[in-house]
Amino acid sequence: MSTPVSTRLPGRLTVSLAWALALVGCASSHGLTATGQALDADTLSARQSLGKDAFSAAAFPQQDWWKTLGDPQLDSLINEGLAGSPSLAAADARLRQARAQAGLADAQRRPTLDASAQHSGVQLPEGLAGEDLGGDLRWSNVLRLDFSWAPDLWGGQRAAWEAAVGQTRASEVDAQAARLALSANIARTYISLSQAHEALDVARREMDRSIQLRELSQQRVDAGLDNDLQLRQAESTIAAARQQEQAAGHQITLLHNALAALLGKGPDRGQSITQPRLLQAPAPAVPGVLPSELLGHRADVVAARWRVEAANRGIDARQAAFKPSVNLSVIAGLASAHLSDLFENDSALVFGGPAISLPIFDGGRLRANLDSAQAQYDLAVADYNQSLVGAMREVADAVQTARSLDTQIASIDQARDAAQKAFVLASSRYDAGLGTQLEVLAAQRPLLQLEQQLAGLHAQRYAAVVDLDQALGGGLPLTVPSSNLTAETSP
């Protein structure tokens, strides 16, 4: 059995490669380059804006960061949401899709071997093939193995695979970020539910106060001490308090529905959620590290870095397409007209060898592909830079908001303490027969208003805890690329 592969193949292959390299300038990437420049995260200083007191030796948030709020029911709700919310399905599907694409890119680098068996017949017209070949139905039987491999001479296939891997890493981070976003949304909705319950409590107390005021006004009108004006004003106060109570109750219902949806359950699941009992809001603190390390804990920043890395490797893959490629293919098998002769010595079939190809004139396809890859890199760099700036802003906003709210809460606490003392004094005067019930009810109104205002500030302060923990990365375990984010371009 002989093969068409010549013993002079190495010499011929060398000559062919020489000709290919001589022609490499025909399809050129000259003049195309990426222009994106990644920001240095350490230049985004925030120490002056946040103040020295904001930075400490505090650790980054833990993955169960919400436990710092001190409400076991919230812990249970977030764990339930992370275990089965359909809102995570899209991120998981995108991750599976990215992994599949990386697998396909890896498969392109590997040799392939296929086996086939065929029994076929052909009958040619006698007028076309002559009497020797035409007119009769002729059968053939073929067993064959097809081997093919394109060696990665310039690293383009590896670059394409690494680009797909980079996209997979970004999708993995996105899937983790989706879980952080879900837990943060559950926590924020739960905080809103806490505020709605407090608003309902205040509205009910205002209703009780208004009813007492109306009864007292009615007594004074009946005694001829007042006219109907005070009575109508008291009735108006009752109507306003009733509206506040109804609005707070409706808000609680909507928030129950929202929490149930975040858990991936029907509205009835929300009915079993009891009034929140949030206990604490830790003081805002940022780990005293460089911004590059600080932002390295952020899922959006890390995902953007992976996409820059993937786009960079995509440029390398496109550049390799300008260079000569070699394909090795071999077909080996058995072929005969009759099955009984298929395994005879003269049935051997061998065909194959190396093939060299070089793009010369392609209508600009390769340059357009490279230009697109470089534009994709510039876009990825711009997104990365924007994520850095946005991340630092979120950290600063969360710290400054928490600090401002602490100051406002302290001021309202002082005002409430003063209103509480005034209410106690009015009650004591009434009990001693020195004051009237009207004075007691009048002193109670600013106290209730301040308590409602304080409840809103506390809710905002709890939300600031969520914002800061999320801004600091939420304790996600992230794999950060080691690349310096510089595009490796060549003319």
DSSP string over 125-190: -HHHHHHHHSSSEEEEEEEEEEEEE---SSSHHHHHHHHHHHHHHHHHHHHHHHHHHHHHHHHHHH
| 119 located within any domain | no
pLDDT value for 385: 93
**CA gyration radius, the chain:** 38
For the segment 159-167, the average pLDDT, to the nearest whole number, is 91
Report whether 459 contacts 408 (CB < 8 A).
no
pLDDT value for 126: 74
Count up the domains in the chain and report the number: 1
Decide which of 40 and 313 is more confident. Answer: 313
| 458 located within any domain | yes
For the segment 37-44, the average pLDDT, to the nearest whole number, is 79
Above pLDDT 90, what percent of the chain?
Answer: 31
pLDDT value for 435: 67
| 148 located within any domain | no
Report whether 108 contacts 160 (CB < 8 A).
yes
How many Å apart are CA 82 and CA 180, to the nearest integer?
Answer: 9
Look up the CATH number of the domain holding residue 372: 1.20.1600.10
* Mean pLDDT for all residues in the chain: 82
Q: How confident is the model at residue 302 (pLDDT cuts 50, 70, 90)?
A: very high
Asked whether residue 340 carries a pLDDT value surpassing 90, the answer given is: no
| 270 located within any domain | yes
| 343 located within any domain | no
Q: Looking at 72-76, 421-425, 470-474, which range is the least confident one?
A: 421-425
For the segment 341-366, the average pLDDT, to the nearest whole number, is 81
Q: Report the predicted TM-score, pTM, of the whole model to 2 decimal places.
A: 0.79
How confident is the model over 231-286, as pLDDT tens digits?
A: 677 777 788 888 888 999 999 999 999 999 999 999 999 999 999 998 888 888 78
CB atoms within 10 A of CB 84: 11
Asked whether residue 377 carries a pLDDT value surpassing 90, the answer given is: yes
Q: How confident is the model at residue 53 (pLDDT cuts 50, 70, 90)?
A: low
DSSP 340: G
| 486 located within any domain | no
Question: What is the domain extent for residue 428?
Answer: 33-110+157-324+366-471
Residue identified by tokens 């086996």 is 115
| 5 located within any domain | no
Q: How confident is the model at residue 19 (pLDDT cuts 50, 70, 90)?
A: low
Asked whether residue 25 carries a pLDDT value surpassing 70, the answer given is: no
What φ, ψ does residue 468 adopt, rounded to 5°?
Answer: -70, -45
Dihedral angle over CA of 260, 261, 266, 270, nearest 10 = 20
| 341 located within any domain | no
How many Å apart are CA 490 and CA 480, to the nearest integer?
Answer: 26
Q: Looking at 53-57, 60-64, 404-408, 476-480, which range is the least confident one?
A: 53-57
Dihedral angle over CA of 195, 198, 202, 205, nearest 10 = 160
